Structure 1
């Protein structure tokens, strides 16, 4: 499968071309897979579902109980007549032979829910990887946007200096300078917003992946995706874990109906046990009786028994029928849920495919826009030097060029995220499919094999230790996001500075305007 070789095939190349400290997308996915509390919690939930099988099997096994007690008769306390004090003990055994099929169907339902739980774990895994890819690409996008805006600020600072120099010699008007100042102030505002977005994206990355993104390498190319949306839907319907989960849960609901119906049938059991009583020398004693007479009665009594027992339910107050109807309603709900999940899988797959295709078209269009705006900016600058273009036209060309670049990196991020979301919708975004080799993969079958036939009442698990990592002790170092210092070009408070008018200028200085008399 192409997807299986996706990350593995690019790992070596990424290490060759990337800086030593750069994290790759594969690193991020391996980190998330091994340290995510969401995934660790889903695994723990599945282990709890596994225990449903031995719980159901326990109802078909031998039941053993013991009793022990001391009794004191309240009649004749002073004479202890007729065995007034006794120490009793007993051992009771019961083994079910036939229970109407309730145990068998309960076991089948529990096993079906284990299958559903494994599918749910795969869904959680795919969703986590999709979130990690989105967080990874968001950081790369926002880093690019910050760099583009920072470059734009530097260009506009140079433009403002040039405009002020030309204003001093009378080549530009005060309006041209003010337009340059306003555009620089707007650019610094856009840079601050981009830096805030980058910090937010990095925090989301740290939440999902479990570490702060110092430097991220460009992601590998996506694996080959289906040629049409119909092809993608076919793959999703046969491979999506959500469909596998709802199918198994529907089967379990059917077994629940049979389990409830079996409560109407008789139950056959083999019973046995032993009992022991010690009357503590009080049996048949009474005042005035000679000790020789007391010796005629045994002070200890033991009894062994074995038998066959049949319990026939004749009337149970309507509870059985209610439980059957309840199970039938839950089965009906599961059947309807299966159709709903199928609809959602189709809709999600088609939407992801449409987003992927649309982002591809946007990339191509924005690449043309970037190229065209670059040429337009170069021409506007040259024509401004020749005096045929105004300053505001150059500023507009620079803004349009920046907007096209931002739109391009955004579309590239959107296409990659939509492509991976399409893989997830098709059930091809799990660790075993992506061939992550950051260590041994979690095997849900191993735990099931350990517990499915356990029969001991004292075989508890050891105290759980978390496998996810905390991020509270990590201090991020973010050189790209710094508070904007006051810009001397715009004044100490980033407000537009007032320029003195050059000698002979026809543009009045607003500070020196004298209003005519009213």
Structure 2
């Protein structure tokens, strides 16, 4: 999606909102940490096939001994080391490593899905603010129009051109318009707060977003791409692949285990051996051993068979879960495509309705001036125009969000697709390559720190309109002068 990359680096563009969310959103940062935690399963699995060394030591005081134990030492210190080298584990280590690596791949795909979901949310929040600002502006204009109408109606009532009923109708419609304006303002505040939640900073004057590229020509084309590229589906399939290795690991519990073992020991009686007998035997000594250890399971009360069956059923579970995700991706893609196409049609219809309602309102006002239309007709025409304008604004928002959701379902709404390059892209392979071959027991990671930012210091949002209203949506205020001659009475 190079179109987003082509936007100038200015404040309050859609690209800037996406970059800010990508860099500071705590949910995405948490998912990245989860993938880094998955990376550690690979060295954990590899450790089962690598040599291990352990040392032991103890000190003993013999506080009670029989009378004939003349040479029993009163105290003893011992130290020893043992080296164990796994030679054959029945495939347990190999299977565990492959399962861990496959789950890392699944985690990366799921992280891609998290990125895509976040971007869909940001686009929705961005468009919500634009839509709700326009709706507030339309309602403000409507209140202004109705207020002017009410003043004109009262003037015409004073000269006997209209009745008290006409005034009451104008007053009621103005009161309703003011209530609707208050509701639209509260919705704008809610949309701005949601924007802050996702992006991390308040929206300013948001620019009109660029056109969405790479949208499919048909629903089937979208589904084909989604089945190949959707990150959630890729992650589910890789998670299912990992369970095949889990079955191999479970089977290894029935096979022999062979290890090479080497050890050394040292003891020292600390001068207490043979004390008081006049004989001074050696007080210390060393020993060393080298050998091979074979463990051959003969009977484990059905444990390995149960673990194998369990792993097999979990594999079936994972395969069916991947199929379920596939169904969801197909439904999501087709639904997004249908919503996008429907919203485009609504835009076309609404644009025609706005144009027609403007002409209708002008005609009704003109006819009212000669007595062929009532005040209620004017009020209804103004309401019809407002409704069509709100529908148009909402349809434009719905079309853009549905189009972006469609790109996300097809796997085309990730950081690289959106042109969020320039040093901000997160690469999950860096941490994996850094830790996969580590064997040091003391090579820990950095002190844990939050990856996302807090919005505690963000000021509460208000309903100020910062964008100029689209000229197509402008509704001129009725400035028709009262009819003092009483025409139409």
Please report the TM-score for the alignment, with normalisation by the length of structure 2: 0.93
- Give yes or no for contact 1:212–1:476 (8 Å, CA) kept in 2: no
**Structure 1 residue 370: Cα displacement:** 0.4
2:474 counterpart residue number = none
Taking the TM superposition and a 5 Å limit, the aligned residue runs for 1:426-445 are 426-437=410-421, 439-445=423-429
Alpha-carbon displacement from aligned partner over 1:301-355 (angstroms, at most 9, x marks no partner): 1001111111111111211111111111100001111111110010000000000
Distance 1:71 1:325 in 2: 48
- In the alignment, the residues of structure 1 paired with residue 459 and residue 322 of structure 2 have an alpha-carbon distance, to the nearest angstrom, of 46
> Could you tell which deviates more after superposition, 126-135 or 217-226?
217-226
Question: 2:384 maps to which residue?
Answer: 400
Kept after mapping to 1: 8 A contact 2:13/2:206: yes
Where do residues 404-415 of structure 1 align in structure 2 (5 Å cutoff)?
404-415=388-399
Cα distance in structure 2, aligned partners of 1:157 and 1:91: 93
- Offset, 1:242: 1.2
Q: CA deviation at 1:438?
A: 5.5
Matched with 1:123 is 113
Mapped partners of 2:273, 2:222: distance in 1: 85
Equivalent of 2:126 in 136, 147, 150 = 136
2:14 to 13, 16, 25: 25
Q: Name the structure 2 match of 1:187.
A: 177
Label 1:136 to 1:272 Cα distance change in 2 as closer, same or farther (>3 A).
same
- Give the whole-Å Cα distance in 2 for the aligned partners of 1:188 and 1:439: 48
Task: Say whether the 8 Å CA contact 1:214–1:477 is kept in structure 2.
Answer: no
Runs of 4+ off more than 4 Å: 77-80
Alignment partner for residue 316 of structure 1, among 300, 306, 318?
Answer: 300
Please list the CA deviations of residues 165-187 of structure 1 after superposition, one character each: whole Å capped at 9, or x if unmatched. 00000000000000000000010
Q: Could you state the TM-score of these two structures normalised by the residue count of structure 1?
A: 0.88
1:283 Cα offset (Å): 1.7
1:214 corresponds to which residue?
204
Partner of 2:56: 67
Check whether the contact 2:54–2:81 (CA below 8 A) recurs between aligned residues.
Answer: yes
How do residues 91-170 of structure 1 correspond to structure 2 at under 5 angstroms? 91-170=81-160
For each residue in 1:282-317, what CA deviation from the matched residue of structure 2 results, as whole angstroms up to 9, or x when unmatched? 2233x4x22xx22xx110010011111111111112
Matches for 1:346-385 after TM superposition, within 5 Å: 346-385=330-369
Q: Is the 8 A contact 1:202 1:212 kept in 2?
A: yes
8 Å contact from structure 2 (residues 188, 463) kept in 1: no
| Structure-to-structure mapping, 1:481-496, within 5 angstroms | none
Give the whole-Å Cα distance in 1 for the aligned partners of 2:266 and 2:410: 66
Cα distance, 1:384–1:84 mapped onto 2, change above 3 Å: same
- CA–CA distance in structure 2, aligned partners of residues 358 and 189 of structure 1: 30
Corresponding residue number in structure 2 for 1:512: none
Q: 1:279 aligns with which of 256, 269, 275?
A: 269
Cα distance in 1, alignment partners of residues 461 and 313 from structure 2: 56
Query: Hey, what's the Cα distance between the residues in 2 that align with 1:137 and 1:431?
Result: 19
Equivalences for residues 26-105 of structure 1 within 5 A = 26-76=15-65, 81-105=71-95
Aligned positions of 1:172-251 closer than 5 A: 172-251=162-241
1:112 is paired with a residue of what secondary structure?
helix
Question: What secondary structure does 1:65 align onto?
Answer: strand
**1:81: Cα distance to partner?**
3.8
Q: How far has the Cα of 1:439 moved from its partner?
A: 3.4
| Mapping 1:438-477, distance limit 5 Å | 439-476=423-460
| Aligned partner of 1:8 among 5, 12, 31 | 5
CA contact (8 A) 2:189 2:463 kept: no
Gaps of 5+ in 1: 16-21, 482-501, 508-518
Equivalence for 2:289: 305
Coordinate RMSD, CA, aligned: 1.7
> Which segments of 5 or more consecutive residues in structure 2 lack a partner in the other structure?
466-483
Residue 65 (structure 1) shift: 0.4
- Equivalent position SS for 2:273: coil
Instruction: Tell me how far 1:40 sits from its aligned partner.
Output: 0.2
The answer (yes or no) to whether the contact 2:189–2:461 under 8 Å persists in 1 is no
1:437 CA drift (Å): 3.1
Shift of 1:212: 0.9
Distance in 1, Cα, partners of 2:421 & 2:292: 58
Structure 1 residue 84: deviation in Å?
3.2
- Residues 241, 427 of structure 1: 8 Å contact kept: yes
Per-residue deviation, 1:440: 2.6
C-alpha distance in structure 1 between counterparts of 2:202 and 2:423, whole Å:
21
User: Could you tell which deviates more after superposition, 71-80 or 193-202?
Assistant: 71-80
